[in-house]
Amino acid sequence: MDATLILGLAAGFFTTISFVPQIQKIWKTRSAEDVSKKMFLAIALGVALWLAYGIILEQWPIIIWNAISLVLAGAILALKYRFG
C-alpha cells in the first residue's frame, strides 16, 4: 500500500467517525433539538457529491468513506426527524 492511499484512508476514517459521537448523543438523550437540520442536509449533499466524484475517479478511499459518511449523516437526519 502506498503512502497516498494510506493518507486517504486515514483522513477519511477520522472525518467519518466524527459523526458517531453526535449519533450516540442523540440516541442516548433522545433529543436532537440542538442539531441543525439545514447543516446536516448540506453535509449530506456535499458528501453525496464527494461520493459521485470518487466514483468517477475510481478512488476507493473517497468512495468508501463518503458512502459511510452519507449513511451516518442520513442517520443523524433520521434521528433529527424522530427526536426533534
Asked if residues 15 and 65 have their Cβ atoms less than 8 Å apart, the reply is yes
pLDDT for 1: 79
Q: Give 15-35 pLDDT, tens digit per residue.
A: 999 999 999 999 999 999 999
pLDDT for 45: 97
- What CA–CA distance (Å, rounded) separates 14 from 61? 12
Which pTM does this prediction carry? 0.90
User: Cβ contacts of residue 33 below 8 Å, gap of 6+?
Assistant: 83, 84
CATH code (residue 46): 1.20.1280.290
Q: Which domain holds residue 74?
A: 3-83
Nearest 5°: CA angle at 83, between 81 and 84? Answer: 65
Q: Work out how many domains the chain is built from and give that number.
A: 1
Q: Give 42-83 pLDDT, tens digit per residue.
A: 999 999 999 999 999 999 999 999 999 999 999 999 999 999
